[in-house]
């Protein structure tokens, strides 16, 4: 099987099993009351200070990263960043309570709606990356449209945090096509962040099923796909974190997983 065929098969599978991209988002339904009612007490800090400097990655990492080293007791919990801000905040807070750090791949439109969440994510010690501007089927787009998806989100991240972030994850696909991989690199993303464990939380199978799916598939080095935007994920996260702890696995940022 050629590499191209592998990618096509993987991409086709991802359309069936990837995140819930085609579903209508509840994000726009209600404005964030905290954002609309409470004026900021302090002027925002200079964006250049918002995003912490990242350590260099080791050489030899693949262009598309599906997992980290298998010989260290660490995993990365990576979240598609979209949906109700209250759900996002609850998940971040629960992770912090357990000493876990997350990686959030944010949708640019979501950052337009809730720009305060970029700072909230970084302030919690989590990592922030790019999950396209509108979360369309990027692997089916032509070069110009796909570039606009990548750079649109990168521009939001840069404006809000001073950095476009280190990671790009394609929307509606686990892996990028060769074209999207190349366009992401041109936009400054050296690596596409895929994953090797799909929690399937977006299918809303129930708290126990999400927890069990992660417990079954996770191991040292895993990159786990999860979603903001589903209340069931809030209910599942404490159990997932307990399971990881019992197995001696730490939830760290993707950069920490790989460096």
HEC secondary structure over the chain:
CCHHHHHHHHHHHHHHHCCCCCCCCCCCCCCCHHHHHCCCCCCCCCHHHCCCCCCCCCCCCCCEECECCCCCCEEEEEEEECCCHHHHHHHHHHHHHCCCCEEEEECHHHHHHCCHHHHHHHHCCCEEEECCCCCCCHHHCCHHHHHHHHHHHHHHHHHHHCCCCCEECCCCCCCCCHHHHHHHHHCCCCEEECCCEECCHHHCCCHHHHHHHHHHHCCCCEEEEEECCCHHHHHHHHHHHHHHHHCCCEECCHHHHHC
Task: Write down the least CB distance from residue 222 to Zn ion, Å.
Answer: 18
**CB of 40: closest distance to Zn ion in angstroms?**
29
**Dihedral of CA 16/22/23/26: which sign?**
positive
Q: Does 80 bind Zn ion (CB under 5 A)?
A: yes
| Nearest C-alpha neighbor of 156 from the set 56, 39, 50, 85 | 50
Give the closest residue to 194 by CA, choosing from 209, 215, 177. Answer: 177
- For Zn ion, the closer CB: 193 or 257: 193
CB of 18 to Zn ion, least distance (A): 7
Nearer to Zn ion, 80 or 213 (CB): 80
How many residues make contact with Zn ion (CB under 5 A)?
2
CA 121 from chain centre, in angstroms, equals 11
Least CB distance to Zn ion at residue 198 (A): 11
Nearer to Zn ion, 24 or 248 (CB): 24
Stretch that binds Zn ion, among 33-41, 78-86, 89-97, 179-187 (CB under 5 A): 78-86
| Contact flag: residue 174 with Zn ion (CB under 5 A) | no
Residue 105 CB, shortest distance to Zn ion, in Å, is 7
Q: How far is the CB of 227 from Zn ion (least distance, A)?
A: 7
Residue 174 Cβ vs Zn ion, minimum distance, rounded to whole Å:
10
Residue 19 or residue 226: which is nearer to Zn ion going by CB?
19
19 binds Zn ion (CB under 5 A): yes
User: Residue 80 or residue 166: which is nearer to Zn ion going by CB?
Assistant: 80
Q: Which stretch binds Zn ion (CB under 5 A): 79-87, 120-128, 136-144, 245-253?
A: 79-87
Q: Which is nearer to Zn ion, 75 or 226 (CB)?
A: 226
Closest CB to Zn ion among 113 and 259? 113
User: Is 213 a residue that touches Zn ion (CB under 5 A)?
Assistant: no
Q: Is 111 in the site for Zn ion (CB under 5 A)?
A: no
Interacting residues with Zn ion (CB under 5 A): 19, 80
């Amino acid at each position: 099987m050629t590499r191209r065929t592998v990618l096509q098969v993987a991409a086709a599978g991802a359309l069936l099993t990837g995140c819930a991209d085609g579903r209508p988002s509840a994000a726009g339904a209600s404005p964030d009351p905290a954002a609309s009612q409470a004026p900021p007490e302090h002027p925002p800090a200079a964006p250049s200070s918002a995003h912490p400097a990242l350590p260099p990655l080791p050489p030899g990492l693949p262009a598309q990263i599906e997992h980290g080293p298998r010989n260290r007791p660490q995993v990365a919990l990576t979240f598609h960043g979209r949906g109700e801000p209250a759900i996002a905040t609850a998940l971040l807070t629960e992770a912090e309570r357990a000493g876990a750090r997350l990686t959030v791949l944010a949708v640019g439109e979501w950052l337009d709606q809730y720009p305060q969440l970029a700072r909230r994510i970084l302030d919690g010690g989590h990592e922030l990356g790019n999950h396209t501007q509108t979360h369309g089927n990027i692997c089916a787009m032509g070069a110009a449209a796909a570039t606009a998806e990548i750079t649109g989100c990168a521009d939001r991240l840069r404006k809000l945090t001073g950095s476009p972030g280190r990671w790009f994850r394609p929307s509606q696909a686990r892996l990028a096509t060769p074209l999207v991989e190349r366009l992401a690199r041109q936009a400054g993303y050296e690596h596409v962040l895929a994953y090797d464990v799909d929690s399937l939380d977006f299918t809303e199978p129930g708290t126990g099923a999400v927890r069990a799916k992660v417990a079954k598939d996770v191991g040292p080095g895993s990159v786990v796909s999860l979603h903001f935007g589903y209340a069931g994920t809030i209910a599942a996260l404490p159990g997932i974190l307990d399971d990881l702890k019992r197995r001696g696995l730490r939830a760290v940022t993707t950069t920490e997983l790989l460096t």
